[in-house]
Amino acid sequence: MFTNQTVIITGAGRGIGAAAARLFAERGAAVVVNDLNAEPAEETANAITQAGGQAIAVPGSVTDPAFPDKLMQAAADTFGAIHILVNNAGYTWDGMIHKMTDEQWQAILEVHASAPFRMIRAVAPYLREAAQAEKEAGQPFSNRCVVNVSSTSGLHGNIGQGNYATGKMGIVGLTKTVAKEWGYLGIRCNAVAFGYIDTRLTRTKEVQEEAIDIDGHEIVLGIPQKVRALLDANIEQRIPLGRAATAEEAAGGIVLLASPLAQYITGHVLEVTGGMGI
Ligand SMILES: NC(=O)c1ccc[n+]([C@@H]2O[C@H](COP(=O)([O-])OP(=O)(O)OC[C@H]3O[C@@H](n4cnc5c(N)ncnc54)[C@H](O)[C@@H]3O)[C@@H](O)[C@H]2O)c1
Cβ–ligand 1 distance for 61 under 6 Å, the answer: yes
Q: Looking at the 3D structure of the chain, how many domains does it have?
A: 1
| Res 42: pLDDT | 98
184: in domain: yes
Q: Rounded to whole angstroms, how far apart are CA atoms 17 and 62? A: 14
Please indicate, yes or no, if residue 56 is contained in any of the structural domains. yes
CA distance 98 to 266: 37
Residue 211 lies in a domain: no
**Ligand 1 mean position to 18 CA, how many Å?**
10
Task: Give yes or no for residue 200 CB within 6 A of ligand 1.
Answer: yes
pLDDT of residue 239: 97
pTM: 0.98
pLDDT at position 87 is 99
CATH number assigned to the domain comprising residue 56 = 3.40.50.720
Tell me if 231 is assigned to some domain. no
| Residue 237 falls inside a structural domain | no
pLDDT tens digits for range 145-169: 999 999 999 999 999 999 999 999 9
Whether residue 164 lies in the annotated active site: yes
CB atoms under 10 Å from CB of 153, counted, come to: 24
pLDDT under 70 in the chain at which residues?
A: none
Q: Does residue 11 belong to any structural domain of this protein? A: yes
CB 67 within 8 A of CB 60: yes
The pLDDT tens digits for 117-151 are 999 999 999 999 999 999 999 999 999 999 999 99
Mean residue pLDDT of the chain comes to 97
Q: Is 44 in the pocket of ligand 1 (CB under 6 A)?
A: no
Domain interval for residue 191? 6-196+248-272
- Centre of ligand 1 from the C-alpha of residue 91, in Å: 5
Q: Tell me if 138 is assigned to some domain.
A: yes
Using CA atoms, how far apart are residues 9 and 116, in angstroms rounded to an integer? 11
| Nearest alpha carbon to residue 146 among 188, 118, 112 | 188
d(CA 20, CA 148): 13
Terminal CA-CA length for the chain: 31
Ligand 1 centre to CA of 50 (Å) is 24
* The pLDDT value given to residue 98: 98
Is residue 192, in this structure, part of any structural domain at all?
yes
Q: What is the pLDDT of residue 204?
A: 95
